[in-house]
Amino acid sequence: MINPLLIVGFAVLLGFSPKDNPNKKTVERIGVATHVVENSIVYREELSKSFKDQTITVNAIYKSGERVFGVKEISWDANGPKNYKYTNQQKGYSEGITKLSSTKYSVFTTSGDKKKESTLEIDGTVVFDEYLVAWTQNNLKAITAGEEPEIKIIVPRRLDYYSFIAKGKIEKSGDYAIEIVADNFILRQIVQPIKLRFNAKQELLSIKAMSYIHPVEEDLQPILVKYQ
């Protein structure tokens, strides 16, 4: 099943841009994201972020109970995402993305002693993982005005990327309700939209998406990410 949604553990990245404190290193604990599947807590993600040399870095520790089973790091600057790596120690699996140039990205996965890698040439706006939240926040006005901007999401397990468009509206409550949907008609039939919700202050409230970062199951899991 094709599902290009590497969308777990998005951080609360509000009010934190590469323009802040340009000459000072900043480290901040974000909090905990609780991942819910069928109303049950599956795992928790402890998040922190740092800012140095115009680059934002988010680190995450994944826990099932008190047992750590995975770690992640992603960084970006004003020009977009730079590096990403996720490792699941329990499964012996890791994946990563490195930006080589303005349009070129190196992608890899490892499982045991097997490694797969590819170089992707991508035009347009590229996002993955936490950076999707930051990008959405920065474009809420355009999205809710009906502009439907296009983005490309890199999916390491596929060694590929997929095109999506962002749609949204401002509800009566003042909340922003955003959907990231596949641009391809066929893909839309098998890939559920990524749903993000922000309050009137443009603070992230929750994300609903599909994910495979899970301590036990190999299959993609529908998840609801809520922040504490």
Three-state secondary structure of 14-77:
CCCCCCCCCCCCEEEEEEEEEEEECCEEEEEEEEEEEEECCEEEEEEEEEECCEEEEEEEEEEE
Provide the pLDDT for residue 12. Answer: 37
pLDDT at 53: 86
pTM attached to this predicted model: 0.81
Evaluate the CA torsion angle 153, 155, 161, 164 in order and state its sign.
Answer: negative
According to the model, what pLDDT value does residue 28 have? 65
- pLDDT, position 227: 62
Task: Write down the pLDDT at residue 191.
Answer: 79
What pLDDT, on the 0 to 100 scale, is given for residue 147?
96
Q: Give the residue ranges of the chain where pLDDT is below 50.
A: 1-20, 22-23, 214-217
Backbone angles phi, psi at 138, to 5 degrees: -70, -15
pLDDT confidence of residue 5? 33
- Determine the pLDDT at residue 166: 98
- Going by C-beta distance under 8 Å and a sequence separation of 6 or more, which residues neighbour residue 187? 2, 4, 162
Q: For residue 211, how many other CB atoms are within 10 A of its CB?
A: 20
Residues 8-67 have pLDDT tens digits of 333 333 333 434 454 455 666 667 888 877 777 778 888 888 988 889 999 999 998 889
Taking Cα atoms as reference points, which of 10, 33, 48, 18 lies closest to residue 131?
A: 10
Give me the pLDDT at residue 36, please.
79
Q: Domain locations in the chain?
A: 26-70+125-227
